[in-house]
Every structure is written in structure tokens, then in C-alpha cells.
Amino acid sequence: MCLPLLVGCAMGGTYSHSLKTSADLQRDLEDCNKAARWAMDRGHIPSGTFADYLRYVDWCLLGKHGWRKIEGPGKGDALAISLIEAAKKGDESGVSHWIAQGADVNRASPWEYEKAKGETALYAAAQRGRAWIVRVLLFKGANPDVQGAPESASPGWTPLMIAAAERHAETVAVLLAAGAGVNKRNGLGRTALMFAAQYGDAQIVKALLDRGADVNVVPDDETSRPALPAAAMNGHVEVVRLLLDKGADTSIRDREGRTALGWARRGGFTAVSDLVESRGATE
């Protein structure tokens, strides 16, 4: 990582950049002030307060020009954004640097840029399978159950859910070892096990089951399915076997009224339908 070397002051704050000079900061600040005034005039800064105006300028300086705020109003937001960006990239030295500068590992991004608002560093790292970064953040106090998905995503996603959905087995193992809640549910009532079963990752399914994942949870929405029907409809015979061995109920139905056997037959997955029938399943 190239640490910030050059520092400039403006609007009561101190900003750093690895390449630019203080003169560059003044030009970039003028550009961002114009953008903020334009946004204010068109109602894109709804509160209309000077504090939110400054926050908009800071986001512009960071997102468009690469200036990071190291002192002054909004410093906490700037540090959080910097930490999250380092976590996304898998930049271990960057993560360590921004934590040392005072970044709150559990602070959610306030940044609207690229629909990142609400995202946390741990969630960002887990989503991308940055297992070592996840370890570092957890060691530094990150909450393994923080619901840190961007506001643009479905509500209630935890790092464990997104790691399972993206099939990052090592990251799942790290989060489970840190005590991540295996039966946490997102805003649609889905659990990490449902995602792993849907995508057929037997290694992750086994890890979740070994930590006590509930095999018979029924999600709340009509487009999601319990773990067993989710695995069956996609033909994941090994996952189906693991779920059955842990007591999955073959009669459980999704919101469409279909069982695992019904989905297996519909998809033509003979090995799956034979397996669930051997465990007493009926449609």
C-alpha cells in the first residue's frame, strides 16, 4: 500500500493524498463545491444543512479525486470509507493503517457512491472471500453478526450469509469460528444454510450443520425455499444427503406448496428423487 504522503488543509479539515499537492486540493475543492451547490439546489442534499453539505464535499473529494480526510468534521466517515475500500481490495496493510488511524471497524459507510451506503468493512471482505482480512477485522473487534449489507441490497444480510451465498468456504469457516450466528435470518427470512444449499456447496453446508444450523427453517417470502427443497430443485444430491442425515423434514413445503420430492421430479433429478423417496418422502 502507498501511504498518504502529501497533506493539504481546506474548509476546516485536513486531507491527505499519495500523489497530489495542496494546490491540487484547492482545484479539486472548487470542483467539489460546485458539485455540492448543484446538488443542494436540486434537492439532492435533503436536509439542506451545512454539515451535510460538507459531507457531500468530502465524498466528492474522496470518490472523484482521491483525497482522504484525516482531521476535522466528518473524519470518522472518511476513515470508515477508507477502511471499507481497503477491505474490498484485500489490502491488509491498508486495513491495518486505517484502523491505526482510528477507523471504527463496525462503522457503516455513509457513502451513496456506487450504492455503498450501509456497507461495513467485514461485510465487504466476506463478500469477496478475503478470509485473511476477515480475520484481521474480527481480531480488531468487528462484530461477526453485523448486518452490514449496503442499503441497496435486501435488508438483514450478515457477513456469514453473503460468504455462504458467494461460496467462500474459508471465509465461512473463519466467521463460524468467531461465533457468527448460524441461524440468523435476513429480511426475507433466509439463513446462510439456505444459500449454501441452493448453490450446492457441500463443504459450506456441512460446516453450517456442524455448528447447529436449523435444517427446517421456512423463509418468509414466496421466492425463497427451505434448505432441502432448495437443494433438491437444483439437483444437489450430496447436499440433500447431508440435510437428510441432519434430520431435514421431507414433507416440508416452500411457499409455493412444493416439497423436495416435487422439485426433484420437476427438474428430472432422478438421483435426488430416489434419495428422498428412500427416506419416506411423498409429494
Going by C-beta distance under 8 Å and a sequence separation of 6 or more, which residues neighbour residue 75?
Answer: 13, 69, 102
Who has greater pLDDT, 136 or 97? Answer: 136
| Mean predicted confidence (pLDDT) in 259-269 | 95
CB 118, CB 96: distance < 8 Å: no
> How does residue 2 score in pLDDT terms, banded at 50, 70 and 90?
very low
Residue 175 has a pLDDT of 98
Residue 7 has a pLDDT of 45
Q: Which of 4-18, 64-78, 136-150 has the lowest mean pLDDT?
A: 4-18
- Rounded distance between C-alpha atoms, residue 140 and residue 138, angstroms: 5
Q: Which of 52-66, 130-144, 156-170, 257-271 has the lowest mean pLDDT?
A: 52-66
**CATH fold for the domain made of 182-283:** 1.25.40
Going by C-beta distance under 8 Å and a sequence separation of 6 or more, which residues neighbour residue 11?
Answer: 29, 54, 57, 72
Residue 11 has a pLDDT of 47
pLDDT tens digits, residue range 175-192? 999 999 999 999 899 999
pLDDT tens digits, residue range 65-102? 776 665 554 566 777 877 888 899 999 998 998 898 88
- Domain residue extents for the chain: 182-283
The listed range with the strongest mean pLDDT (23-27, 81-85, 112-116, 275-279) is 275-279
Going by C-beta distance under 8 Å and a sequence separation of 6 or more, which residues neighbour residue 57?
Answer: 11, 29, 32, 33, 35, 36
- Rounded distance between C-alpha atoms, residue 46 and residue 112, angstroms: 13
pLDDT tens digits, residue range 243-262? 999 999 999 999 889 999 99
* Proportion of the chain above pLDDT 70, given as a percent: 82
Residue 32 has a pLDDT of 80
Residue 69 has a pLDDT of 67
> How does residue 41 score in pLDDT terms, banded at 50, 70 and 90?
confident
Residue 4 has a pLDDT of 39
Residue for grid cell 482531521: 71
Q: Indicate the SS3 state at residue 253.
A: coil
Residue 37 has a pLDDT of 82
Residue for grid cell 480475520: 135
Mean of the per-residue pLDDT values of the chain = 85
> How does residue 156 score in pLDDT terms, banded at 50, 70 and 90?
confident
> How does residue 119 score in pLDDT terms, banded at 50, 70 and 90?
confident
Say what the pTM is.
0.76
